[in-house]
Each structure stands twice: as structure tokens, then as C-alpha cells.
Homo-oligomer: A and B are copies of this chain.
Amino acid sequence: MVPKSLSEARVAIVGLGLMGGSLGLALRERHACREVVGIARRPETVELALRMGAVDRATTDLAAGVADADIVVLATPVRTILRQIPMLGSLLSPPCVVLDMGSTKSTICRALAALPDGLQPIGGHPMCGKETTGIEVAEATLYQGKTFVLTPLPRTGLQAVALAASLATTAGSRVIFLEPERHDRLVAAISHLPYLLSSALVAAAEEVGQADKAVWDVAASGFRDTSRLAASDVTMMLDILLTNREAVLAMVEALQGQLGSLADCLRREDEASLRALLEGARARRSRM
């Protein structure tokens, strides 16, 4: 049976980076589970996770780590998740819940759907993180007050949904449910597009900087904030972009259209139209 409560559950966290490490810290701080087991690639990470108190037990051996788990949380980069899912079928016993935390959902949920019957896969995406990676920067409060998206599959049973939701809320998040494709369209708009914009902004400023280094002397908080995402881990972002390609390209097109409208008004010195567009954005942003 799927455990009725998180407190009875053995949770295996695959991947002890920022996300997996922080989840372990959150769960253990609240004494929320029967046991937290961590699986990492490197012995150094295993040792550090134990020292930090992010896990009760940890190993570099995936099979050993997930054996007897009630919930397996996949906290690795997206394309690593895609590699690991097919391995799990033979390593887990029904009715183990398999929850991933990857930043795109359609591709991952298609892979989850192929898991053997009896397992309980459910897609997930906690809307939190940092530009820096690694368990060294993990924090128990990372999920606090954040939105954790769950994308159940048609086959996901209610008990499994409830358990996954309980894990998210125990870590401090509020849960919303979305279909995988809908999730991917939305995050393309509010996460993946901002990343590309930040990178393009840095590249455009660097063009100027090649001719005039003083550009970096005058850059202040406005530039720093708008460009912050450009410092994100590139491998992680490539995983994301390449598994959400169409939605991201659609958002880039939308952005280019909006930016083009602003530029057109400015070129024509059409102050009234420019004011209307800018005021619309200002009002919308102020409501956040």
C-alpha cells in the first residue's frame, strides 16, 4: 500500500545537489519521514550530505539507495532524470511513488508513463532555486513559501498524489496541479524566456564592452537584476531549453513582437502609444 502519511514513508532522494539536498534538510528538520535516504554520484557528496544532516543514510549505489523506498524523488538535471527513469522499473517495488523535480514536465511525464504498472509516477516541479548549484548551497528553507507544481499522470492514484502533495507542503511549499503541457507553456513564459533574455542582455552589453570597457563601470542594480539569470548553470538550462523547445521558441517570438512594438513607437516618436504600452506593463508588474 502507498503509505497513508509521510511520517511512515522512507523517502529516497536521487541527486544531492541544491534541490535534493535542500529537500532532505527540510524533511529531516521537521522529522517528517521515517527515513531519508540519499543517492549521489560521488562519495564526497555522500559524506557532505551526512555531515550537513540532509539525509539519514546515503550511498552512491542507486539500486541500494532506492530499495524499499516508499517515495523516490528524482532531483537530478532533466536529462539525467530521463536516463534514470527506465532504470527504476527493475529497482522499485510497487506501489512506490516516483516523483521527479525536473524543470520541464512533458518529456519527463512521457518517460514516467512507461514505468511498470504498480509504480506510482507523478511529475513535479518546485518553483525555487538559485543560480549556484551543489549541496554546499542547500538550505532547509529553499522550498518555504514557494509554489510546487505537481503534474499527476492519468494513472497516478489519489493516495500517491496526496503523498507527493504532503511532501511538498511539508517542505513549506504550496501545491498547484497542472497538466504537463500546460506547465511547460507557462514556465517557458516566466522562467525560460527570462533566462534567454538575461543572456542576450549580457551579450548585447558585452558587444558594447568590447569597444568601451566603461560600460561595466556604469552598470548598476537595474542591469544586475535584469541579467542575474544569465549566471545560471548552463548544463541545467540546456536540459531545460532542449526539452521545452517549442514552447520556448514561441515565447521568444512573443517577446520579439512586444519589443518590436516598443521600438516602433520609439522610432516614430509616438509618445502616446509608447506611454500606453509601458503603462500597461507597469500596472501589471506592480500587481505582483
Residues of A within 8 A of B (CB): 127-128, 146-147, 149, 176, 178, 182-183, 185-187, 189-191, 193-208, 212, 214-232, 234, 237-238, 241-242, 245, 248-249, 251-252, 254-260, 262-263, 266-267, 269, 271, 274-275, 277-282, 284-286, 288
Report chain B residues within 8 Å CB of A204. 189, 193, 251, 254-255, 257-258
Q: Flag if A271 contacts B238 (CB, 8 Å).
A: yes
- CB-defined contacts of A285 to chain B, threshold 8 Å: 198, 202, 227-228, 230-231
A215 to chain B: closest residue by CB: B186
Q: Do A278 and B220 touch across chains, with their CB atoms under 8 A apart?
A: no
Residues of chain B with a CB closer than 8 A to A187's CB: 218
Q: Is the CB of A218 within 8 A of B190?
A: yes
Q: B271–A249 contact, CB under 8 A? A: no
Q: How many angstroms from the CA of A256 to the CA of B190 in the assembled complex?
A: 19
Query: Which chain B residue lies CB-closest to A130?
Result: B221
**A226-B226 in contact given A204-B251, A234-B278 (Cβ < 8 Å):** yes
- Tell me which residues across on chain B come within 8 A of A262, comparing CB atoms: 196, 199-200, 252
Tell me which of B205, B228, B259, B281 contacts A225 (CB under 8 A).
B228
Supposing A197-B259, A254-B207 touch, asked if A216 and B288 sit within 8 A by C-beta, the answer is: yes
> Cα distance A230–B224 when bound, in Å?
14
Give the CA-CA distance A127 to B219 in the complex, in Å. Answer: 8
Say whether A197 contacts B226, CB under 8 Å: yes
What are some 24 contacts across the A-B interface (CB < 8 A)?
A128-B220, A186-B214, A190-B205, A190-B219, A191-B220, A191-B222, A196-B262, A197-B201, A197-B259, A198-B281, A199-B278, A200-B259, A202-B284, A203-B258, A204-B254, A222-B229, A224-B288, A225-B229, A230-B281, A234-B275, A238-B271, A238-B274, A238-B278, A256-B260
Given A269-B242, A269-B245, answer yes or no on A219-B259 (Cβ-Cβ < 8 Å): no
Question: Known contacts A204-B193, A222-B194, A281-B199: does B176 contact A214 (CB below 8 Å)?
Answer: yes
Chain B residue nearest to A227 (CB atoms) is B285
- Closest Cβ of chain B to A98, distance in Å, is 22
Contacts A149-B218, A252-B262, A256-B260 supplied; 8 other A-B pairs, CB < 8 Å: A147-B217, A197-B201, A197-B226, A198-B285, A219-B288, A227-B285, A230-B284, A231-B285
Per a CB cutoff under 8 Å, which of B194, B208, B234 touches A185? Answer: B208
Of A178, A199, A216, A227, most B-chain CB atoms within 10 Å: A199
Choice from B201, B249, B284 contacting A255 with Cβ under 8 Å: B201
Residues of chain B with a CB closer than 8 A to A259's CB:
196-197, 200, 252, 255-256
